[in-house]
A and B are shown apart, each in its own frame.
Chain A
């Protein structure tokens, strides 16, 4: 199984900050990676697919990059709505697996 490791697990930041979250795969997954946002008490929401493609309707301050085993999600200017937990997920093979999550908290 492919293991997905996210870092950091928790991140404290202020509105307007640039934030970067890293996701590493235990083996190459090409660009078969998605990012999700989950607000408390809500279902996950797709942000990015194929490592860097922005889902329709998602603000352009979100961006993704990487390929192979190392990927990043960047929020260029953190907004109040962005305080949430973020998960990466590979879809290179079965089983599909998620990273452990990164909680973005208010500093």
Chain B
């Protein structure tokens, strides 16, 4: 069974940093593009970033470019999101999600999400 379990969320002050992790199991993690998607409280879904199988390709939404860095460790079956210079508008539930096995771009498995709150 595919499992994606996010961790590392919490309360952080504006301008601070946080590192999210996503532990994957039940599939060959190293074969899949992986994503972070967020959802502000009471709002819709926003794709944040993704990374290819060996970490050589990364894409980001404009609003996080230069502040967030996506990475992975295939030996540990883990995905990460380093978030720096956090803003109030980054407050959201952050989901880890895998891209389909053909790498076309739809998100077939999702974690349960981890809450990040940016507030003083």
A residues neighboring B (CB under 8 Å): 1, 32, 34, 36, 38, 42-46, 49-50, 55, 87, 89, 91-92, 94-101
- Interface size class of chain B, counting residues whose CB lies under 8 Å from the partner chain: 20 to 34
In contact, A100 and B44 (Cβ under 8 angstroms): yes
A42 to B110, CA, bound (A): 10
B residues neighboring A (CB under 8 Å): 35, 37, 44-47, 50, 59-62, 95, 100, 104-108, 110-113
Summed over the interface, the residue pairs from A and B with CB atoms below 8 Å come to a total of 59
Quick one: which of B35, B62, B100, B112 has the most chain A CB within 10 A?
B100
In contact, A43 and B106 (Cβ under 8 angstroms): no
A44 to B104, CA, bound (A): 18
In contact, A32 and B107 (Cβ under 8 angstroms): no
